[in-house]
Amino acid sequence: MTLPAEVMSQMSHRMTTTTFTLEGFRVVETKGVVRGIMVRSRNIFGTIGASLQAIMGGNITLLTELCETTRLAAFNLMLEHARKAGANAVIGVRYDATEVLCYGTAVVVEPEK
């Protein structure tokens, strides 16, 4: 099934969900599991800064920021994998924090009638 470019271009953060349905749309084709994996490390200065924050206690903002940007990068890689598979949505999105892995099921959806 070939969908119009405007439907395929709908892939965005709003076309993803942790549930297995996307409100207002019906799944017409399942493309399979898609994922985005990202491994990052801090440079020496960031590592020293994070170590100093750890000594002081509380939220280690340098590592929190690294985790957040890595999570977003993994999410965007998953979306790209879904686009390449021919999907315009991803359902059942999950994260595995062992190595910032984002995965879900790539699907083609169309608006409900």
Residue 95 scores a pLDDT above 50: yes
Q: At the topology level of CATH, where does 5-111 sit?
A: Translation Initiation Factor IF3 (3.30.110)
Q: Supply the pLDDT for residue 28.
A: 94
Instruction: Supply the mean pLDDT for the chain.
Output: 81
For 67, the enclosing helix (H) or strand (E) is helix 61-85
- Taking the alpha carbons at both ends of the chain, their separation in whole angstroms is 18
Cβ atoms within 10 Å of 56's Cβ, excluding its own: 7
For 42-68, how does the pLDDT look when each residue is reduced to its tens digit (9 = 90+)? 667 666 766 666 677 777 777 778 888
Q: Is the pTM of this model over 0.85?
A: no
DSSP string of 26-65, one letter each residue: EEEEEEEEEEEE------HHHHHHHHHHHHH-S--HHHHH
For 24-39, how does the pLDDT look when each residue is reduced to its tens digit (9 = 90+)? 999 999 999 999 988 7
Q: Supply the pLDDT for residue 66.
A: 81
